[in-house]
Structure 1
Amino acid sequence: MDWPVQIHSSFDGHDLDSTSKACLCDLGVQMGNRKALNRHRLPPDQPPDLAQIYDTIPIGLAFLSPDCRYLQINQRMTEICGIPVADHLGRSVRETLPRLAEQVESIVQSVIATGEPITGIEVSGERPDETGTDRFWTTSWQPLKAGDGTIIGVNVAAEEITHRKRTQAALAFANISRQTTMDAMTASIAHEINQPLAAVVTNATAGLRWLAHSPPNLDEAKMCLERVVNDGHRASAIVASVRGLFGKNTSERVRVDPNEIIREVLSHVHGDITNGNVALQTALAKKLPQVLADRIQLQQVLSNLVLNALEAMSEVADRERTLIVKSDRQEPDAVLLTLEDTGPGIDPAYLDRIFDPFFTTKAKGMGMGLAICRSIIKTHGGDLWASSKASAGTILHLTLPIA
């Protein structure tokens, strides 16, 4: 049976993609019967005939009957569907692509009911040869009309956009992750700066109380003001250090004595140690080699580790709260610093994860402090890791190469 065929194209120059697909659909109309194709076949010395073009064009093409059976399909469409040509022809979409059947049938019914093409519609689902992986296609649907206007089928043009969709999703996820990281980093930096600022307020308040005595205790007030100045400089140094960290600036690295850095940090947090009812013990090696480091960054790392230890012991009530800070040489060419606390310790399953960004065992916190500390030590050529004590508590180990 030969069907009289009416070709419909609607190229208006405004939507090249959808119009091109509509024209390709119209091209597929002519594949519905061989005589119609032969009328358009070119001589052998001319460009390829329509059958060759239809089969090799890089967009998937198919012709569906009103009951959604494949009457014609090109090679690209079979590649998109993952099913050979022979397994399509004469079979319904529900038989070949059951996971997409509902979407396809709905579109075909709409085209047949209205007689109007549908372009640029996205279809998604699993292929029969793949499980658990959604694919995405942008499609155009063109009605095929007989001479009397009766719709005898629908031509489909499909282009796979799975890679594009996955790339877009990956970019969106990367943007969200970057924003989350920046939010957490901002919170962590604010926490670091808040420490010396809180000390400023504490010492300034104490100084006012000494001045309010009758007579005023000027010596004590002076000592408080000196601590205010020192804490102010420490806050300023933290800001400069963070700026240097993000700029990967190593010009401020100088030879420093690790023991001196430890003493400075313990002096800064002396009030926290006292207020936490923590017994401090130190075992600092004599004649410890110097290391090449950014002094402020190293201070911040040690300060963060000490304050973490104090926080870990804040809930301990059945044993003495003790902080032990040690330094020693680690052969052949490094310095080893350790901080031991008598807190609840860390689950062995988490020891390798506590330095990961956003991982935290605390009820509050963003999980960025230890991640930043390790990052700083790594940029200095050292390492930072944790281990559990045999009794109770945690040991943090920090190594730095000798200058």
Structure 2
Amino acid sequence: MNGNKNKGVSLSLLSTTINNINKSTNFQTTAEIIFGFIKSFINFNMAVIYKINEKDNILEIVSCLGSDTEKLKKRMPFKVGEGAVGLVAKNKTPILINDVLVNKEIQVRQYCDEDPLIRSFLAVPLVVGDKAIGILSISNSQPEQYDDYDVQMINIIASQAAVLLELNNNITETQRFSNKILDNVNSGIIVVDKNCNIIKLNKSAESITGFKFEEIVGSNLLEEHLILDNEEKFLYKSFNEGKIYFEEPGIMIRKDEKVIRVRLSTSLMNDEEGNIKSCICIFRDNTEIENLQSRIAMSDKLEALGRLTAGLVHEIRNPLLPIRNASEYLLSKYADRDENDEMKSLLKIINEESERLNRVLEGFVNMGKNSFSSIGYCNLKEVVDEVLILLNYTLRKSDIKTRVSLTHDDIILPFYKDNLKQVLINFILNSIDAINLNEKSNQRLIAISGTQNTENAIITIEDTGKGIPKKDLHQIFDPFYSTKEQGTGMGLYVAFNIVKSSGGHIDVESSVEKGTKITLTIPLEGERRYEY
């Protein structure tokens, strides 16, 4: 037994320990304080803190000194009511055993290969109110090391530790509950600290962004991937100006670089001094809703366009008829003469293009009635040559060079010739406008290439224009969408539907200030698609 103890020193140490426990902010720190007190007060080889799992009626190890905590946790847990610590948990009263090897009434589990030999044993309950929530046990390899005074001192410390253990359990349960709520919310939630580094995200955020928590935790990727339509740096505004956002529209660039529409709301968390310490960003995938809204608006606009087009077509056809008639007359008049070849060539262009314009007008009248699905075939080289002749003056005026590269002269495409011309004209005109707007480009070039494999023809139109921002790429083929002051937003929409009617598709790659590449993939044979 521990002879004469200095009770004054012990009480002073007890008072200091209780004060330190009360200042502790987490249970691991509390456990270290308790072990430090015990070590200063009595001799021991091993000390263990357990918590009671009421659901499974077992004791779970929280912390340990004198043995490997992780190994202890892997052992068969004590059941409440079994063994020395189990009896303390059941009866809520301390146990003191002077010599475990002599005492046969209460069993103390020994793991001599891994733990120190247990001879002296002391265990006290951690009680809050009338409820035991855990156990503190102490053991020594020598017999008769502890007495009732030791039990009293340890019991006092245990009562303080019990409060913190209960608080720790409540916090852990609250955190678990909060995490469960977060993971079951449909909206994505990402929490960033004042350095704009990601510290938390829920499962919906992982699903929407395509990133796993471990891939982006600690990074500042959020503001690179979530861009508001008004292009505000929302994290900077939040932390520096305290600005709160609600349902702010923007885009999310996913891990796979797919762009989706989102709505963003934010909330700020402050520390005890009122300083902003973190920003909670709540966002949802709004792509389907906005697409539906766009389709509804588009339907209304197309209906209005149909009424407007009928009147415009009538007004345009009136002066177009004498132009066509005059060009036909002049062509027939000079057809047999050898001179004036240039004039005859220009008259032929006027006649053919007035005929094409008439067919385009007919197409607008019938928009939405499979007007882009006229069956026919055309030679790609012939169409490209004709388009470049038509746009020759515009290209020269803008000092833009063209480069044409076709792997075959006889690439035959399943298009009515007028339709393919319309597609190429629309894309090339857009390229011309983009190059004229790019003041940083030293090269003014439009490159047109064409190739084919066994199934498809592939046409590319690449320019050195100003490029298209990522946030705009998803809507460039929408009707009435245009970034030009005088644009109607119909050119690329018409081109898209013409290509789609052939069973083909369009891919767009663009880099701001560097240029845009349009790739048309068109089946050489196959069914045309008539639905839009």
* TM-score class normalised by the smaller sequence: 0.3 to 0.5
Higher RCO structure (Cα 8 Å, ≥6 apart): 1
The normalised TM-score by structure 1 is 0.45
